[in-house]
Structure 1
Amino acid sequence: MNYFKAWNHALIQGFLILFLGLSCASVQADEEMKLDKAPVDSSNLPSLQRGAQHFMNYCMNCHSAHLARFDLLEQLGLSEKQVKQNLILTDAKVADYMTVVLKAKDAQNWFGVPPPDLTVEARVHGADWIYTYLRSFYRDDQRPSGWNNRVFPNVAMPHVLWALQGQQALQKQGGKDTLVLIQKGSLSPQEYDQFAGDLVNFLVFMSEPTRSARLHLGLWVMGFLLILFLVARALKREFWKDIH
């Protein structure tokens, strides 16, 4: 009996230590990395269309989205002709999956790791993480690519958007590491933030295309359940009025 008592006590202590350890690690991670809020709006079609254009022009050179087809873009208010002319930059068809020509072996040799598929990246990391990541690259001569990232230290991916954002450096200001723009890009900081926001907005849409419809349908379902509850409550009162 004492054996089981001691075992249970040790088990409870182990769970408490594990829980407290994970909690402390989570708090420490939050303190070290403050993520910026991504301007995600699934109803903003112009933003989604711009994000799709950015994705095709800058991301699909290396990253695939092999779980999505090009005809998904028609849900953004675009015709099949517009998708073909403006968003499909290869000889792919509208019904084809969004794959890239880059071979995993070549990517491994060039970057050290194959670029991840981005179909559900927004669900893996979250919109705020990606939004902050796209704006947190800085020059680092110690890295093979010449770039590093505050959100993803020692990242293998170079800053492919540097011509738009410009070049940032990590400097000490007030005892804290701060990103400072040392060379301007073709976009102003506000314009680049919008660029990154539109791209993230599209990635969120691509990771869950039915989200907007699901939320809309959910409101109708909740309304129906509310009406059903009121009707059931009225019937219950009618059936039991003579008893009570």
Structure 2
Amino acid sequence: MPPVDPLALELARMVEELLAHEQPEPVLQDVVNRARTLLSGAHHVSVMAHDGRGNGFASLAASDDLAGRCDTLMADLDEGPGVLDHDPEPVHRSGDLAADGRWPRWSAAAHDLGIRSVLSIRLVGQGKHLGSLNLYSEDAFAFGDDDDIELAVLFAGHAAAALGAVTEISGLRAALESRHVIGVAQGILMERYHLGVNGAFEVLKRFSSVHNLKLRDVATELVDTGAMPGADEPPLSMT
């Protein structure tokens, strides 16, 4: 039996531990902390992506304040190695930000913060672009070794796979929880107003639409308090 590659074993263990998280947020924080420990030259690490609200890019997790500030500069300037919209390349490296002309404003600002090198790797999981893993170094010409870049790309691939899986599982769990609470709310309305299943659902849906509230929020309020959110009259009186 061939010996087990220690790196492969370490990455497999990392994925197993990342998958133990139930939500994406702790996965992201775990990823940046592990990257700073495992990847040579990575003094500051972050993950950034679209904020999901149409407001551009945002830092989703950072190992420290400096990494977060570098991400914020990218988002504010709409420029930098982690701004994925402008360049589909999976890996961007700069060993000398002072002389790098690809992102002149961001490079100058990051250099002023003490960053000399950067390695940014696109995170792809479950067939979707999840964001970018940004490694910031205070050393000039960091991340110049092919083996270091290969390890960082391998790390990012494993991290993205775990993040994608947890995100999907979290979404499925949230959907199941929504269905459950809506079902309980339907039961309350059915018993209280002698409605059928479809009639109770229509009441919830109409209330949600009229008051511009999410259906799950309406159902949760009814289950928790016995009343519709902000309703002064029984829901059947809605017109």
TM-score by length of 1: 0.28
TM-score by length of 2: 0.29
Q: Specify the structure having the higher radius of gyration (Cα).
A: 1
Query: Relative contact order, CA 8 A, sep 6+: which one is greater?
Result: 1
